[in-house]
Structure 1
Amino acid sequence: MSTFSAIGEEREIDRDEYTPGVEPQPTWCPGCGDFSVLKALKQALPEVGRSPEETLLCTGIGCSGKLNSYLDTYGFHTIHGRSLPVARAAKLANPELEVIAAGGDGDGYGIGGNHFIHTARENHDMTYIVFNNEIFGLTKGQTSPTSPKGHKSKTQPHGSAKEPLKPLSLSLNAGASYVARTAAVNPNQAKEIIIEAIEHDGFAHVDFLTQCPTWNKDARQYVPYIDVQESEEYDFDPTDKVEAAEMMRETEEALYDGKVLTGRYYVDEDRPSYGQEKRAIGEMPEEPLAERYWDDEYEWERSHDQFLDKHA
């Protein structure tokens, strides 16, 4: 079965289909929050009706990069910080493919920060899950972009002198059309948010708090958590950008004071995705480019011919 014959096929999807036939032994540490991301994805994908053949998972380098070894879908393990450009290309070439990108806070907010900003700015139709544990885990405990000020590590033995990056606010200001935060200790919310992110048409950014018990022992386990949608203490409109920005600011400042706020922060259902914009102005064909590789009768166009015609 090709990805093209699988797309659009209506059938019951079982979460066990996402477990590899020969399941590798996870090398995440006991107590790692990354297990919760894997579980949430395995629960979410069948509920949105996506089969493994319809799904592509692009990962970067780090503990989060192991995700596509444990999730049986199409996968692309990129280099550090480069999961988003690969995911973008795949989605543009085959719009019906469900594309999910994943990376850690160092991978996504540090090394790949430029790609994060511009993928949000262009509103590419994909889901981006960032495993945020406030540390570089796989490389053994260096300070990351989300490590709190004063955090001591191998790279900052006297404590970090830098304020942590605010990923929710950055995502909103860059242009993401869906922004949420969840935590490994809240599996039900995590599944629901990932379902919403996958179903969203546009760039959906999920900041997923994942505790690292091995290399970030100073970090909280992100409990107790407060769902901002369920709490009577918080009242804001996630479709209002100004109100969303204020709620994000409060959430990001509260985290480092030991108060964990999670939930949906911003949702814009009206903004067209990048692919829709490109097709609307005629710069992308309606027919998926990827399907041409499977069409023996397709007459290939050469880009250099278009340039030659213009200058002939």
Structure 2
Amino acid sequence: MSAFSAIGEDREIDSEEYTPGIEPQATWCPGCGDFSVLKALKQAMPEVGRTPEEVLTVTGIGCSSKLNSYFDSYGFHSIHGRSLPIARAAKLANPDLEVIAAGGDGDGYGIGGNHFMHTARENHDMTYIVFNNEIFGLTKGQTSPTSPKGHKSKTQPHGSAKSPIRPLSLALTSGASYIARTAAVNPNQAKEILVEAIEHDGFAHVDFLTQCPTWNKDAKQYVPYTDVQESEDYDFDVTDRREAGEMMHEVEDKLYEGEILTGRFYVEEDRPSYTEEKQATDEMPEDPLAGKYFDDDAEWKRSYDLLERHT
């Protein structure tokens, strides 16, 4: 069975199917928020209705990027900051495959920031989970793009002189069609948001706050938190781009003031995905390219067969 032939299998799914048969010993530190992401993702998959053979998890480099070592699906461990282009290629070749990309704040917003921006702009149909602990953890505590101004680290011993990036606002201005933030200390909300993100048709960005008890003790555990959908203090339309942008700005300000706001911030349902756009212009076949690898009679075309000769 392959990631092509298994798609569409109709059967009940148990979250434990996503636990490797020989479960590796997790090397995350005790108290690390990454455990919560793994648990929430495993719990989300039965509700999504996807078997492990229907899912590809692509990760970058970092503590968070060990995810596909502990999550039993098809997996690709890429180089630093490059999970998204690989995930995009897989989705284009096999659009029915459920593609989940993951990485840390340094991997996703720093080294892979350019890929993040353009994958959102093109609205590729995939889920991108960014484990945001405001620090480079695997390389032992360097300042990351989301570290607060003044944060002292090995690379900024006198305190960071730079303001952190605003990942939610960046996702919105880049063109993501689903944007949410959740936290490791809110497992029920985390699972619900991951289900929504995976089922969303388009680029879904989930900024997942994950505490790092070893290298970023300043961030603690991101508590207490407020779910903006359940609070009477916040009322905005998640489908309205302007209202969503204003709300995100407030959320990103308050994070560094000690108030943690989580929830769904922007949802755009009717925008075509990149694959749908390409199929509409006949630049991409309706039948998955991956299917040709299982068809001995398939005819392969080269780029010079598809393009008009330049004169």
TM-score when normalising by structure 1: 0.98
Distance in 2 of aligned mates of 1:35 and 1:243: 33
1:188-243 Cα offsets, whole Å, 9 max, x none, are 00000000000000000000000000000111311110000000000000000000
Distance in 2 of aligned mates of 1:2 and 1:242: 43
- Partner SS state of residue 3, structure 1: coil
Percent identity (aligned): 80
Aligned runs of 1:184-203 on 2, under 5 Å?
Answer: 184-203=184-203
| Residues matched between the structures, number | 311
- Partner SS state of residue 207, structure 2: strand
Unaligned runs of 5+ in 2: none
Match of 1:9 in 2: 9
Contact 1:148/1:160 (<8 A) preserved? yes
Aligned runs of 1:118-267 on 2, under 5 Å?
Answer: 118-267=118-267
- Partner SS state of residue 36, structure 1: helix
1:238-266 Cα offsets, whole Å, 9 max, x none, are 00000000110000000000000000000
- Partner SS state of residue 257, structure 1: coil
Distance in 1 of aligned mates of 2:294 and 2:205: 32
Contact 2:3/2:74 (<8 A) preserved? no
Contact 2:213/2:220 (<8 A) preserved? no
Is residue 310 from structure 1 mapped to residue 303 from structure 2 by the alignment? Answer: no
Distance in 1 of aligned mates of 2:136 and 2:216: 9
Distance in 2 of aligned mates of 1:206 and 1:289: 28
What's the offset of the Cα at 1:306? 4.0
Contact 2:180/2:265 (<8 A) preserved? yes
Distance in 2 of aligned mates of 1:94 and 1:87: 11
Runs of 4+ residues deviating >6 angstroms: none
Is residue 98 from structure 1 mapped to residue 98 from structure 2 by the alignment? Answer: yes
- Partner SS state of residue 276, structure 1: helix
Is residue 62 from structure 1 mapped to residue 26 from structure 2 by the alignment? Answer: no
Contact 1:220/1:258 (<8 A) preserved? no
Distance in 2 of aligned mates of 1:183 and 1:128: 15
- Partner SS state of residue 154, structure 1: coil
Distance in 2 of aligned mates of 1:91 and 1:35: 27
- Partner SS state of residue 218, structure 2: coil
What's the offset of the Cα at 1:90? 0.3
| 1:141 partner amino acid | G
What's the offset of the Cα at 1:149? 0.2
- Partner SS state of residue 282, structure 1: coil
1:83-106 Cα offsets, whole Å, 9 max, x none, are 000000000110000000000000
TM-score when normalising by structure 2: 0.98
Unaligned runs of 5+ in 1: none
Contact 2:100/2:128 (<8 A) preserved? yes
Distance in 1 of aligned mates of 2:251 and 2:306: 51
Distance in 1 of aligned mates of 2:134 and 2:309: 52
Contact 1:64/1:104 (<8 A) preserved? yes
What's the offset of the Cα at 1:2? 1.8
Is residue 297 from structure 1 mapped to residue 263 from structure 2 by the alignment? Answer: no
Aligned runs of 1:72-111 on 2, under 5 Å?
Answer: 72-111=72-111
Distance in 2 of aligned mates of 1:87 and 1:306: 24
